[in-house]
A and B are shown apart, each in its own frame.
Chain A
């Protein structure tokens, strides 16, 4: 489903973020990308969703060469991902329901079905009773679960999370871990960039480990 082959990324200014990285991930896998900060985790995620393009090598997602994608095709490719961010990236000018509805609006999903799906996603993360609340009134853990609901509402094939437990207490982190596990169990490919050791212990995933831009271990399943 996802394959990196001989991917290097050098930023303008000379910083070598990734060097000759090759690995592949099958559909339905649960994979952690680990490494110290600066090891290249974020660059790897950026290459996946075409925020950056590789300097050399190819990044294939669902049979599409993401690095060579036409600018106009990028939004449609991004819809196959569900994105979870460390800082949630919620929109604070609209309520919980509207935040979750956003990916469906963007995809042009018709109203009634959309509302049903939004409530299902909110129910899944345990926030259904907050649907009319503003996100600013939610706790950090609830905001992260809201971000999770937004990521899965359009039923993406791949869940992509960047330090999903980064700012959370252990208890909230466990909840997020369980959510990731449950999505993975229904067939969603999950790729988590993290250095949270307890999350690692909780989910026991395959680990792709980076050190200073070079793949250290985990190239094959």
Chain B
């Protein structure tokens, strides 16, 4: 057990040494891997944030019914009565056009523009909660209300969220495909780095084979090298994505003021971060393993150059 630990410690420190011999090359490799990985990871982060947000929205699907601009108080009251009489509607709320305009003034910051308008461009509107939140029931209700007199436009508020959700599912798929492809790229980058190392260390490998080194002993530093390079790449990707999320949050902070709603991009969770680092490490190890086991077999020692 102690010999095993010592052997691994030896392999690990040899790998660190090799990384530090060529600091610029190692850093550039980590950067390439990091940038490649940050693409799918960033996309994944964006998608999961949007998905969480859209799920909140779709949880309470509402219908907005906009009255014609010239609808009278009486006509509006009539609609109110019909809404009360429809059992499929659990609650509704009238948003008078004056209130809508006041809210819009407050939240949009377009005060001057709105003051300059000759008249209020916003109609009276009802915000309606339906008893049955299934898409079919909502659509049927929307179509029914649309027929009512003086109702100009009916809109399912949840519909855009559902479209967003479908779009997000596509984006998630894209992130997965991108992640797989760039994971393969990571393996390929490591494969190549290790191939070059095996070739430049050819003589050393021949000598230690002659002295009685097992394949495991020879492979160990290369495997640790690949794993460390993958880990460094994963850390770079984590840094890029975190910095991106931080910068996005600063701009989102300003947007939050404008929309009077809290918009925030959550960074990768500790669990996600761990998965990212472990995956990058494992892929680096895998690339190194494929490379070193392939190329070591080609190197056989010799005693004397002539025959």
Contacts and interface: CB of A to CB of B under 8 A. Distances in A.
A111 B304 contact: no
B6 A42 contact: no
Interface of A: 17, 37-38, 42-43, 45-46, 49, 51, 72, 75-79, 81, 83, 85-87, 89, 91, 93, 102-103, 105-108, 110-111, 150, 162-163
Nearest to B2: A110
B237 to A, nearest CB: 32
B306 A42 contact: yes
A86 B302 CA distance: 12
Nearest to B213: A106
Given A42-B306, A51-B302, A106-B208, A75 B2 contact: no
15 contacts: A17-B307, A38-B307, A42-B304, A46-B303, A76-B212, A77-B212, A78-B212, A85-B303, A86-B304, A91-B204, A91-B207, A105-B10, A106-B211, A106-B217, A108-B6
A108 B3 contact: yes
B210 A83 contact: yes
Contact of A93 (B10, B204, B212, B303): B204
B7 A108 contact: yes
Contacts, number: 71
B209 interface: yes
Nearest to A106: B213
B253 interface: no
Contacts of B209: 75
Contact of B210 (A43, A49, A108): A49
Given A110-B2, A110-B6, A42 B303 contact: yes
The residue among A43, A106, A110 with the most chain B CB atoms within 10 A of its own CB is A106
A111 B208 contact: no
Contacts of A85: 303
A76 B209 CA distance: 10
